[in-house]
Amino acid sequence: MPDILHIVVTSLVLMGAAFVIGAIGFGFGLTTSPILLLILDPQTVVVVINAVAIIAFSLVLVETREHLRNRELAPMAVAAVLGTPIGVFALSTLDPSVLRITIGVLVLILTGLVVFNAEWRVPYPRISGPVLGFISSASTTGLAIGGPILVLFFLGRRMDRQNVRASMAFFFTIMYIAAAVGYAVQGLFTAERLILIAVATPVVALGYWIAIRLTGRMNEKVFRTTVVVVVVISSLVVVSRELLALFG
């Protein structure tokens, strides 16, 4: 049985993450893992975040389903399923520090392309889309980070706010379900983690509902600016934290 304080803090942090998902469509792991790592072990953090995220992204998918580009997203969804076992294996066996740093640096480079080149477009999207989907799936499943890689890809495809939210929801709903299957096979759903997931689920739905009520009319310029700010800050936090852990 997890500590009551851990249950309360975990639920509140995940509710805040659901608010972020409702507003901009990504950032669930990046906005929660730094805080939850202060009170929970890394494996529990990843498993709980990714399991509860199924609820958050399913809600976004239901809301934005009319904005889906199914033909473009299908290959990326297949790549997400293929990348999931790698993430599950990494979560079970590997030291993730170097990979976190690599992903963080890659995200910052891609963000720079978006910020400093308004006309930047994704090269060879039919190839780069599935490749980035595979990378994002593996890193999210194993590390609870990876969403910024995808959102920058979608921004580079000149998608509007609702297209980005719908695309992220479609991709991550499929990926998180595949990840949950992998976690179950590996025996990662302990009693403590299942309790945290069960308690946090209704709170996550509440956080999403609040976000929809408060940010439903966000314009495109504010949306893109918010996305870039969240990506830069979260990526810098991830890279700085891992560098300090390695060399501090």
Percentage above 90 pLDDT, the chain:
22
pLDDT score for 192: 93
Least confident range from 6-10, 17-21, 211-215: namely 211-215
- Predicted pLDDT at 106: 63
**Residue 107 confidence (pLDDT) above 70:** no
Q: What is the mean pLDDT of the segment spanning 16-21?
A: 85
Query: What long-range pairs does 166-169 form, CB within 8 A, spacing at least 24?
Result: 166/60, 166/61, 166/64, 166/65, 166/66, 166/67, 166/68, 167/68, 167/69, 167/73, 168/25, 168/26, 168/57, 168/60, 169/25, 169/57, 169/58, 169/60, 169/61, 169/64
Q: What is the mean pLDDT of residues 200-220?
A: 83
Mean pLDDT of the residues in the chain: 80
Query: For 45-93, what is each residue's pLDDT tens digit?
Result: 889 998 999 999 999 899 888 888 777 788 888 998 998 988 888 777 7
